[in-house]
Amino acid sequence: MFGQGIPAALFMALATTVLRFGMSLNLSPSQVIDRANRLIIRDQRSRLFATVFLGYLDPASGAMAFACAGHNPPLLYRAATRTCESISAEGCAIGVFQNAVFGEEITHLTPGDLLVLYTDGITEIINADDDEFGEAQLEALIIANAHLPAQALTQLILREINAFAGEEGAADDETLLIVKRNPAE
């Protein structure tokens, strides 16, 4: 989300409400984002915008339909190959263009796969030497520690980011969500 203060907080509340309402209508991810975008543009005058990743994951099959509105492409760790790939679908941030097109893609998570969603505050954090943490370092942490439960991996990555930043600290928000598909029991 771009902006600060009360207007930004109100905009975020509006965007969240509109997205949740769209999801309650059983629309596809791209339809939810499209509808949210149109309602937000019609209602707002502040020129604020937000990035969104919206996915529906079927836990039984591992199928995930998703749409992206300008958000960082999530990383998908593939347990079978021990590699990370970026997944994305066409779309700009919501609140920017009335007639924006939001694509939709489908992927599958197999047992052991990880879906890693993050904001740019995770990869763009800078240390005292003006080095950026970067996506390559995030991928390396995921690959080396994919055996951990999702919560433990999340905590490890956040510790590593804080150690990397040192006293500089974060200049941007840091949001990290990891979903792990566990083997069937």
CATH of the domain at 22: 3.60.40.10
Q: State the burial class of residue 58 (Cβ atoms within 10 Å of its Cβ: 0-12, 13-18, 19+).
A: exposed
Residue 99 domain-assigned (yes or no): yes
Of 147, 121, 124, 81, nearest in space to 156 by CA: 147
Range 23-39 average pLDDT: 93
Residue 185 domain-assigned (yes or no): no
Q: How confident is the model at residue 40 (pLDDT cuts 50, 70, 90)?
A: confident
Residue 54 domain-assigned (yes or no): yes
pTM for this model (two decimals): 0.88
Of 43, 50, 70, nearest in space to 3 by CA: 50
Supply the Cα-derived Rg of the chain in whole angstroms. 17
Number of structural domains (the chain) is 1
Structural domain that includes position 118: 5-180
CA atoms within 13 A on the CB side of 75: 26
pLDDT in tens, 121-160: 899 999 989 999 999 999 999 999 999 999 999 999 999 9
Q: What was the pLDDT predicted at 4?
A: 62
